[in-house]
Amino acid sequence: MVAPFDWSAYQATLDNLFHREGDAYPAGSNEYEELKDFVARLAKFRAAQAKRGVEESTSADAEAADRLGIPAKFDTRYRVNVGLITDHKRRAAQHRGGCSLPGERVEEYKQMLVLYEDFRQKRQFAKLLKLQTDRAALPISSFAAEITAAVESSQAVVIAGDTGCGKSTQLPQLLMTSGFKQIAVTQPRRIAAVSLCRRVAFETLNEYGDEIAYKIRFDSTRGRGTKVVFLTEGVLLREMVGDPTLKQYEVLVVDEVHERHLSTDLLLGLLKGILAERPDLRVILMSATIDLARYSAYFGNAPVVQVPGRLYPITVEYLPQQPDDEKAQSSAREGGKRRERRGAQRIDARPYLKILERIDQQFPAEQRGDMLVFLSGMQEMTTVADALRPYAAHTRRWVVLLLHSALSVEEQDKVFDIAPDGVRKCVLSTNIAETSVTIDGIRFVVDSGRVKEMTHDVAGSLTQSLQEGWISRASAEQRAGRAGRTGPGHCFRLYSQTDFASFPEFTTPEIRRVGLEQLVLQILALGGGDPRSFDFLDPPPPESLEAAVRSLVSHEAVRAAPSYLEGGREHLVLTPLGEVLSGLPVDVPLGKMLVLGSLFHLSGPVVAMAAALSVQSPFIRLPDGEEGDEARVARQSLRSEHGDAFTLAATFGRWIAIKRGRGGDDSKASGKWCKRHGLEEQRLYEMAKLQRQFQDLLTESGLLKKARGGGMGGGELRRDPLKRKREQQQRRDAQAHLHELQRKRDRDRGRKVLKLSEPLETEPEPEPEPDPDDGAPPEPLDIRSLELKLTVDLEALAEATGRTLGRNDVNLLKVIIASGLYPNVAVPDPNNSQRRESEALFHTRHVADARLHPASVLVGAEVPPTAREVLVYTTLLETHKLYVTNLVRLPALPALLLTGQRIHTTPDCRRLLVDDWLLLRIKEAPDVAQHVVKTACELRASVSKLLRIRLRSHGPAAKESAAAAAAADAPDWVQELVESVRSDEEVYSDDLADRLAQLLDTTVSYTCERIQPQHVPGQFARSKPPNPDRDSAAAPLLRAARAALSEGDQSAPEEGVQVAPFLRWGSLEPFESPFVGHSVHMRKHWQCPVCGEKLLMNLNEIEEHLEAHEGESKKEMFERAAERADHGKGGPDGVRGLAKQAFNGGEESESLEGEGVRVPVQQAGETSGEVENRKTMGDDVGMQAGSAEPEKRETVSAVQRKRYVCEQCDSKVYLFTPPQVLQHKRTHK
Amino acid sequence: MSKASGGKFRCTQCALEVPFEHFGRRPPFGEGVVFLEDAYTRRDPFSSKATPLFLGGVCKICSKTVCRMQSCSIFYSSRFCVECASQNIEAFPAEVQKDVVIPAP
């Protein structure tokens, strides 16, 4: 009996001899662990063999063997084609203490290593073969011939395949084997482009070459040998600017067409046009089996190849949620995809928990199968995760994971890991897992039926809002299908079958629900003609297109030019700003901010802010109570009362300073700092990346000077050539190191087994169990840090973001932000002082009662937003409540003057109506008011002019000379000269910047209020008073009454002078309509300020009454009023004020001075003295007139009585006051 | 002896096609792994560290490129494609003979 040799007893010795770092199987590696098993099994086998007795090996025909040069006598060693170079002999010799293992055992072990390597080689090769056979087994592989034939016969082909049929990975390979060499495959998401590229490269075993590449914004692996490139739709569109017919490609594959992103629709439209010009081009649309006929018809009845998915049967169970407000369900029944605001309560997590419990009861733990839960958003996911986690921890049968697009790729990868035996994954996901991310092994799907989508209020403002609603039937089917990819599955739908039946058939394409500014810009930039006549797959609502055009016109990105070809019809042209914006793959507001920022030499902070506003907030929601207090206190130092953009930029600046400050250990220091402040560091890394991208974009478009050197302290590189060389070497080394780390990370990824105690997201692990196995350093951090250093010039960035902002800078930044974000403006509710802070309400032009987003720094601001301030915001978020997010506060008057699109003023400029909803009253003398308006206008015009000049000077020619100078590596002074030649307006911009900044500090006193839409028409002057001298006292009132009568008549005001596209002077009725609140339906008390009569009248009657006054001459009226005033208590001030206003009402002259009362001298005549007196009282305009006391009526003098011939009472003659005339008339009715 | 990377490895027996990175006995990637024949290798796509994966070699008799699958070739101190091995079956010891796949005519 021979016991197997116990190698493990000598592990330490063996480790020392064979398993050091750098050896083939270093201790701790996966291979090393496997090897230990292998060795133990082999030892056992050999012991058993020894027991049986060694068989003599045979010999072959010696002569024949000799002929082939192979040994005749068999030895297993001859079957092994691999060897290992080891250093064990030298190491054993060094080890003086003597080796505990005899030499022959050491050699035996070495032989076992070789056998292990042979075993490993065979196994890995088998894996490789399996990879190939798996591909062949995919459903799409059996359609290869059909697809190839279709592509050969038709320019456009539609390939429809359900998830899991392998179309995205296999079609490019199929095209490659068919001989195509220039293949582009578009993806709606960057992540998909990169991960598909990796996947296909892996499958074709091309991961080290450049045959399969990806190209996303600012990152490309494309090389000379590239045959297939995966790119985002946006990148392809950008390529079309320089290559309008896409000559560089033979085949274009548009993947995930059914997702119908804005860029998808645009791309399809453009491709359709290109096909006619390029008969050799092939276009392949790949879609889920949704709405295929439409795609086929759009491309002239393109052939459709349908590939069935590999789906197992799925049981669908409807579990309608009763308590969850019935309102939501009923509205779903009515209008399908109608949005509705849900109650304030959060999502109810109980149904989800119940399903977990049910699964545990019904299905034995040994039966594998994970769960995928579709929820509408982050908050819902967190709520449900919080509810499920205790159950998961208690039963130890579940691991709860989150999946959403804001996670980094590494974090997302976690959902692909395998749960340990007896444990199921429960992946809570947004609709990202519906089509774009496929998780294997899902057996249960729970579908909330809800989705959050960015929608766009087409009717009114260009406000984007994230709204929750029901999904479409197509989505519901997609979701259910996720359960049947690896075996029969179950789908639990948390809604009723009736609900399902009422869902819309397909998800609304993006083009029908989002703002179309970028689309319009791109169509114009790509020569797609007038966007309003573009051949869309699914035309957007015309009003949405019009709104986008209007918005672009008001941002001065597009202008209408008369076209000579079309017989003078106007067509749309890009302005220089529009051209720049069309090339910036960001929303127009951000783009405009970036452009203005570089124009005013504030690109550092603006770029940081734009980046900050584009990523999710790095501020983690702090737990209530003591737990979060430390971070709350720490955050105070980052906080800026000016708003979120300032706070975020400051935070980013501080983080960069820490990143740059320390040596190699910065990731730890910054990590600690982030933790202390409750910050998600990943978001800051994202900001840094975006920041760099924006910088590159601006450089590319010629708005910024090219920063030389790039990362790693580009600053000093210029001077010292030796240093430069050294730094370059360091940079190369770092780059190589980074690639090594990235590769290692990618390979390490594989599929790991999840730990039960896997922490959720970034939330602190509740059990403080120290895991001894988990001592590995957080590797991704090092990679991120290194990546940051290589891609971002920390030195320059620290300089740009760390710069302390002066008052002028802050003001100017606010102007820049507001210019970009307008019309996203909110004003505080006047009653906010009576509300709790969290209940404070804000109104936008189209939406009332929004709240500040809880994450905003303006929540808990020392000074809450005042009535004289407006807030600009990026998004109107509709979740359980309505929120305005990412806020910056600005003084209302200058902000609105600088950004409003349609500003109307009274002749004295003391009252301004901005975009038909905000009324500004300047409580200063007219000259002060006029000065402010004039200044603001001039500044605005100057900014426009500067934009035009500056952007034109960055047109091709200027850009070329600068680029040429840079490319030629010309000495600095030459480049500076090129700069200075172009910079004749630099001084100008600096001066302008100062003046803009100062305008925000204006001390002018004013109020700002929101007015209801029905009161807007009443604000406008209706018709020009024929002649102020002869205008009757009643005329302005009559106009106001008529205006009030014609409420809702939205005809453009015709009065005044259009001073600028955004400003019309004198178009507002000089004195405010006293008829706010009056209607034709109801009589209301009203005292006629002309005759002083107190009357109960409706609007029609008021009009008639005033018409009667029309007959009186102005002089008469004036005299009467003067007389009344003469009586001392001749009437309330208001009446006199009004009368006096009436005299001056129509005046359009430069003589608006003093208190706005200039008495027509001729008429004042001898009574000028009294007029002088009244001057001081004339300030008050309004409805106080109604409060006149009854006895005052008696003061009406006989002078006002007039002869009145009534035709109805047999031409009787009366002596009546005008009101009496009216009263008399009424008796005849 | 050692040839730098390039192109596709293609087995003349089973038509398997895989891009290879190195041909020779000592691939530049991988720590200490050497081959006892001129080997078509590439980095192992399934391994977390750079280690060579042997794809196939060259038949000692007919010089055809063959992959390591037993249905395509056999290694016994040198590589032989199944065609040549079966034609010279008597040259191999019994232990090897039983592994030689006789190709269908």
ipTM: 0.95
pTM: 0.68
In tens, the pLDDT along A881-891 reads: 788 889 999 99
Of the candidates A571, A592, A350, A575, the one whose C-alpha atom is nearest the C-alpha of residue A448 is A350
Any A CB within 8 A of B22 CB: no
Give the pLDDT of residue A897: 94
Residue A498: the pLDDT is 93
pLDDT in tens, A842-885: 998 888 889 998 888 888 888 888 889 999 998 887 766 788 88
Write the residue in A30, A69, A84 that is nearest to B32 by C-beta: A84
CB-CB neighbours of A845 under 10 Å: 20
* Lowest-pLDDT choice from A254-268, A483-497, A1089-1103, B78-92: A1089-1103
pLDDT at A115: 93
State pLDDT tens for residues A751-806: 566 666 544 333 333 333 333 333 333 444 466 677 777 666 677 777 766 667 88
A24 and B32: CB-CB below 8 Å?
Answer: yes
Q: Cβ of B77 and A78 within 8 Å?
A: yes
Q: Do A132 and B16 touch (CB under 8 A)?
A: yes
Q: Return the pLDDT at A856.
A: 87
What is the structure's pLDDT at A783? 67
Does A83 sit within 8 Å of B54, measured CB to CB?
Answer: no
Residue A1228 vs residue A1123, higher pLDDT? A1228
Reported as a single tens digit per residue, the pLDDT across B9-25 is 999 999 888 888 899 99
B47 reaches A (C-beta below 8 A): yes
pLDDT at A98: 62
Q: By C-alpha distance, which of A1050, A1053, A1072 is closest to A1064?
A: A1053
In whole angstroms, what is the distance from residue A815 CA to residue A644 CA? 15
Q: Is A205 within 8 Å of chain B by CB?
A: yes
Whether residue A69 and residue B60 make contact (CB cut-off 8 A), yes or no, is yes
Q: Name the closest residue on chain B to residue A207, using Cα atoms.
A: B45
- A-chain residue closest to B93, CA distance: A60
Q: Residue A45, Cα to own-chain centre: how many angstroms? A: 63
Nearest to B45 among A70, A122, A207 (CB): A207
Interchain proximity B53–A128, CB inside 8 Å: yes
DSSP character at residue A345: S
At A241 the pLDDT is 84
Quote the minimal CA–CA distance from A745 to chain B in Å: 8
Q: pLDDT band for position A1223 (50/70/90)?
A: confident
* Closest approach of B56 to chain A, Cα-based (Å): 10
Interface check for B49 against chain A (CB to CB < 8 A): the answer is yes
The pLDDT of residue A623 is above 90: no
Q: Does A78 touch chain B (CB under 8 A)?
A: yes
Select the residue from A23, A31, A68, A117 to test the B interface by mutation, using most B Cβ atoms within 10 A. A68
Q: Which of A72, A74, A125 sits opposite B53 (nearest CB)?
A: A125
In the predicted structure, residue A1178 carries a pLDDT above the cut 50 = no
Closest approach of chain B CAs to the CA of A227, in angstroms? Answer: 14
Query: What distance in Å separates the CA atoms of residue A1048 and residue A1040, rounded to the nearest whole number?
Result: 14
Contacts of A650 (CB under 8 A, 6+ apart): A638, A640
Answer whether B63 touches A (CB < 8 Å): no
Out of A73, A81, A125, whose CB is closest to B93?
A73
Distance CA A811, CA A942 (A): 17
Q: Closest approach of chain A CAs to the CA of B3, in angstroms?
A: 17
Residues of B in contact with A73 (CB under 8 A): 93
- Which pLDDT belongs to residue A1032? 59
**Sheet holding A464-470: strands in order across?**
A450-456, A464-470, A875-878, A882-885, A851-852
Q: Do B91 and A128 touch (CB under 8 A)?
A: no
C-alpha to C-alpha distance for A682 and A671, rounded to whole angstroms: 10
Q: Which of A146-155, A250-259, A656-665 has the lowest mean pLDDT?
A: A656-665
Distance from C-alpha of A383 to C-alpha of A352, rounded to nearest angstrom: 11
Most confident of A195-204, A429-438, A1043-1052: A195-204
Q: Would you call A742 an interface residue with chain B, using a CB distance cutoff of 8 Å? A: no
Break chain A down into helix, strand, coil percent, rounded to 5. Answer: 50, 15, 35
The answer to whether B54 touches B40, Cβ cutoff 8 Å, is yes
Q: Within 13 Å, how many C-alpha atoms sit on residue A995's CB side?
A: 18
Confidence of residue A1105 (pLDDT cuts 50, 70, 90): confident
- Among A60, A80, A747, the residue with its CB nearest the CB of B92 is A60
Higher model confidence: residue A420 or residue A2? Answer: A420
- The CA-CA-CA angle for residues A495, A497, A502, to 5°, reads 90
The DSSP line for A668-707 is HHHHHHHHHTTB-HHHHHHHHHHHHHHHHHHHHTTSSPPP
A1010 pLDDT exceeds 80? yes
Is A862 exposed, middle or buried, given 0-12, 13-18 or 19+ CB atoms closer than 10 A?
Answer: exposed
Q: Which two tokens stand for residue A519?
A: 């689309």
Highest mean pLDDT among A96-100, A258-262, A705-709: A258-262
| A336/A348: higher pLDDT | A348
A82 to B35: CB separation less than 8 angstroms, yes or no: yes
List the single best residue of B80, B88, B89, B100 to mutate versus A (max A Cβ within 10 A).
B88
Closest residue in A to B56 (Cα) is: A125
Q: What is the mean pLDDT of residues A520-539?
A: 89
Of these ranges, A429-433, A497-501, A1032-1036, A1203-1207, the one predicted with the greatest mean pLDDT is: A497-501
Residue A1074: per-residue pLDDT: 67
CB neighbour list of residue A997: distance below 8 Å, 6 or more residues apart? A807, A808, A809, A811, A812, A815
Asked if the Cβ–Cβ distance from A79 to B34 is below 8 Å, we say no
> Which run of H or of E encompasses A974?
helix A972-982
pLDDT in tens, A267-307: 999 999 999 999 999 999 998 888 899 999 999 999 999 98
- What amino acid is encoded at A406 in this protein? A
Residues of chain A above pLDDT 90, percent: 25
Tell me the backbone φ, ψ of residue A864, rounded to 5 degrees: -65, 155
Quick check: A806 and A860 in contact, CB under 8 A? no
Question: Rounded mean pLDDT of A245-274?
Answer: 93
The verdict on B48 touching A (C-beta cutoff 8 Å) is: yes
- Cα–Cα nearest to B80, from B100, B105, B53, B94: B100
The single-letter DSSP state of residue B44 is -
Would strands A1006-1010 and A918-922 be described as parallel, antiparallel, or unpaired? antiparallel
Higher pLDDT, A41 or A1061: A41
Query: Does A973 contact chain B (CB < 8 Å)?
Result: no
Q: Of A57, A122, A208, which is closest to B43 when you measure between CB atoms?
A: A208
In chain B, the residue whose alpha carbon lies closest to the alpha carbon of A201 is B45
Choose among A30, A127, A209: nearest Cβ to B19: A209
User: For chain B, how many helices (H) and strands (E)?
Assistant: 2, 9
Question: Pseudo-torsion of CA A1104, A1106, A1110, A1116, nearest 10°?
Answer: 140
- Interface check A84 vs B, CB under 8 A: yes
Check A81 against B39: CB less than 8 A apart: yes
Question: Nearest C-alpha of chain B: how many angstroms from A741?
Answer: 11
pLDDT in tens, A988-1009: 677 888 899 999 999 999 999 9
Pairs of CB atoms within 8 A across A/B: 130
What is the per-residue DSSP string for A866-904? PTTEEEE-SEEEESSSEEEES-EEEEHHHHHHHH-SSEE
Q: Which of A61, A79, A81 sits opposite B35 (nearest CB)?
A: A81
Interface test with B, best of A121, A177, A212, A741 (most B CBs within 10 A): A121
Comparison of pLDDT for A409 and A1034, the residue scoring more? A1034
Question: Percent of chain A at pLDDT above 70?
Answer: 73
* Mean pLDDT within A718-733: 66
Q: Are A1165 and A1215 in contact (CB under 8 A)?
A: no
- In the prediction, which pLDDT does A1117 show? 61
In the predicted model, what is the mean pLDDT of chain A? 77
